[in-house]
Structure 1
């Protein structure tokens, strides 16, 4: 992104005085230097993050860090329960590790910002870039996903934003395949990052052997159509799939997924149980959360075994508790005053209507570290306490001296 911001065509956006902008709308993930463009354009900022309000992002607009009951990265808590001591310890340590990591990221971002805009005295210091943020959209929905957390007005949750309010018609071949699945169907997709070449031949052969033996039909996303794992009447291979629209089909009984956040959200929205095959990044955590909610089972790809794969598939397909759990969640997830898309439109227009909506901002954004943490008040209390202690010590010492002198005088009188 640094090279993009340095491109003459991007610079022309603010150098050309004829250009007029009302808002900067960008995705945020450890890229604070990019906010300099918004200050160049002299517009308010709306950010988006494809995740929940993690403390290190929510803190940009002053969202409180409640580490005792709000999990951060890689801490999965069962729905309706609270963190155990070990989980709270893990949560606390992870939060502080992320803060240290973010300090390093900010050092790199600050260098980029100064290289891009350091010559412009009209721009704020790097540390003040985030003070122009109006609100942040998060791809989450705490009311259904939990846990309940204290979110500021500038935290807007739009979980499921990628899900269409009404699914599009499926391509004829897929529609016919699903419509004719009298025993139901399974969608199998490992996303766009995990390609067929990343899987060993042994794993692929095992997957095909299990899936081809099912009575359900299977739609399998496979990027090498010229080299499919095998032929079976119940399996359709496709290089590209309209995942959201397929999951909306009533005959889909199971989603085999790599546990990417987007896919899990779509499956939850449509009330489909899952078998997760996580590979890397946030996938193991997403899978653990999904399992804790009772929406399915997980089998790490690195531990893949044909027997385990078959057993867990059959468990989900034959035990209705997984479908019931995710369907109950789906009803709660959809129960909102506005859809996710309507929410984005409303709040974006709200910021525009109110010229940045500064009233949404927490005062803490504009306070120094000392003020925000009441360190000056603690310093005052400590000073007063020290003065009181010193005064008491002085009084005690004075009394001791007076008492000592009186004893000496009394002894002299007795002589």
Structure 2
């Protein structure tokens, strides 16, 4: 949540971004049930509201107090047993690629239906409300993309996971499979033959599953909830004016991006950290050589971990010469070491900004990794599912972290990894180098997000930024029709020549045979 005043936010962005001359009505739809996705866009939406735009936000996380120019439509979590769902998802994610994709499908459906079935949202659809812009989360929420045509407004997509082969399709971006890893894989951008083959498999599975399973299901929702739609879902999917991507090449890797795909990693982080609560401050300062922060994110609950895992973690922490802040979702932890401070919630970004916090033990979620890089803190990564494996692998490959196997680590494994990072300055030095590169941009990420959002408003959807591939079918986009012609004509010519030569040789043989028979008769 943003903690600087809206006036300050407005002035900061106004210094760079020309103001959209009129107040725009904006519908923002973020259907996922996990809070981290919405946290990524809170500052962005609040800044738009501070600049005079009227925001209607559809999410499961309404504002705690009324906000000027900001209206909430609150979603009810469609999956009531969310914690149990996450626990089962962890196990399924450890199995086959197909099981991973099925888990993603279940999560996607949960998000889409929570919006489409919401009565207040349905009233909005049936009303005569008008919007100048639609902002929507773009993780396989295809049926909701019909909101652009419904309200006759341009669409901006926000991807809190960065881009992948499916998200690329929305703006016809191309991520070459030879050196752009699948987010659900474990390989980096420099791959050998077998890794490229595995990456091709991952990309193909994701693309096929999306087109054969997810999109047909979203098509049914689209037809049910947008019965008056005149555009096909395939056309709606390719009608995005802009994509805001929660990624940056300093942390990820350089890759091609079309003009309307903009990297804005870090836009959720305040420019100036806030003061942390006094009890947390005192606990950090009581640790002479620095402190550690440990969190498994908003979806995986430490309090729900098996007893043997909790014991390994506590044993490791008890053996350390530093204090540890642990995001733990219960008020009590039996056997908690004296050097451990537990709390249901920590102001994570502000904690990582503290100069005496020396290490971040993390599950490797995208937002957590971005915050670690933003503040130049090394990590010990314990990835649980989805993109977290690759996120942690990035940190390891770039030299500012170590990885542990979440499923079978021991207390000794955890202790040794922590001490190795704490005692070897190269990890912190490398984290600070990456951080410097991350910050060295012509425009701060939130400023960039606001600038390009208002650019789309100023230029009525900014069609000049869109590549022409959106008007081509699959064969045309990949030049298969011209390739067939290019190679087909020479191939037909070769076949024709072979056929003529064959007929000529056959005629010669027949003539020779006929001559031989004539000689015998004479």
Same fold (TM over 0.5): yes
CA RMSD of aligned residues (A): 2.5
Is the Cα contact below 8 Å between 1:204 and 1:229 reproduced in 2?
A: no
TM-score (norm: length of structure 2): 0.73
Distance 1:279 1:387 in 2: 55
Distance 2:372 2:443 in 1: 20
After superposing on structure 2, the runs of 4+ consecutive aligned residues of structure 1 that deviate more than 4 Å are 397-415
State the Cα deviation string for residues 242-292 of structure 1 (Å, max 9, x = none). 000010011111111122221111111111111122333333332222222
Q: Partner of 1:106 in structure 2? A: 215
Q: Secondary structure of the equivalent of 2:178?
A: coil
Residue pairs, 1:8-407, within 5 angstroms: 8-17=119-128, 19-77=129-187, 82-103=190-211, 104-117=213-226, 119-120=227-228, 122-142=229-249, 144-230=250-336, 232=338, 234-393=339-498, 395-396=500-501, 399-400=504-505
Is the Cα contact below 8 Å between 2:169 and 2:238 reproduced in 1?
A: no
Is the Cα contact below 8 Å between 1:24 and 1:45 reproduced in 2?
A: yes
Alignment CA distance shift 1:39-1:412 (3 Å): same
Is the Cα contact below 8 Å between 2:292 and 2:360 reproduced in 1?
A: yes
Q: CA deviation at 1:351?
A: 0.6
Distance 1:42 1:298 in 2: 47
Moved more, 342-351 or 306-315: 306-315
Structure possessing the higher radius of gyration over alpha carbons: 1
Is the Cα contact below 8 Å between 2:314 and 2:337 reproduced in 1?
A: no
Distance 1:269 1:258 in 2: 17
Q: CA deviation at 1:178?
A: 2.6
Is the Cα contact below 8 Å between 1:76 and 1:289 reproduced in 2?
A: no
TM-score (norm: length of structure 1): 0.90
Alignment CA distance shift 1:405-1:288 (3 Å): closer
Distance 1:321 1:28 in 2: 38
Q: Secondary structure of the equivalent of 1:308?
A: helix
Q: CA deviation at 1:346?
A: 0.6
Alignment CA distance shift 1:49-1:395 (3 Å): same
Q: CA deviation at 1:395?
A: 4.1
Q: Does 1:4 align with 2:115?
A: yes
State the Cα deviation string for residues 87-143 of structure 1 (Å, max 9, x = none). 1111111111111111211111111111112x31x520111112320111111102x
Q: Which runs of 5+ in 2 are unaligned?
A: 1-111
Is the Cα contact below 8 Å between 1:62 and 1:362 reproduced in 2?
A: yes
Matched residues, number: 408
Is the Cα contact below 8 Å between 1:52 and 1:140 reproduced in 2?
A: yes
Distance 1:393 1:89 in 2: 37
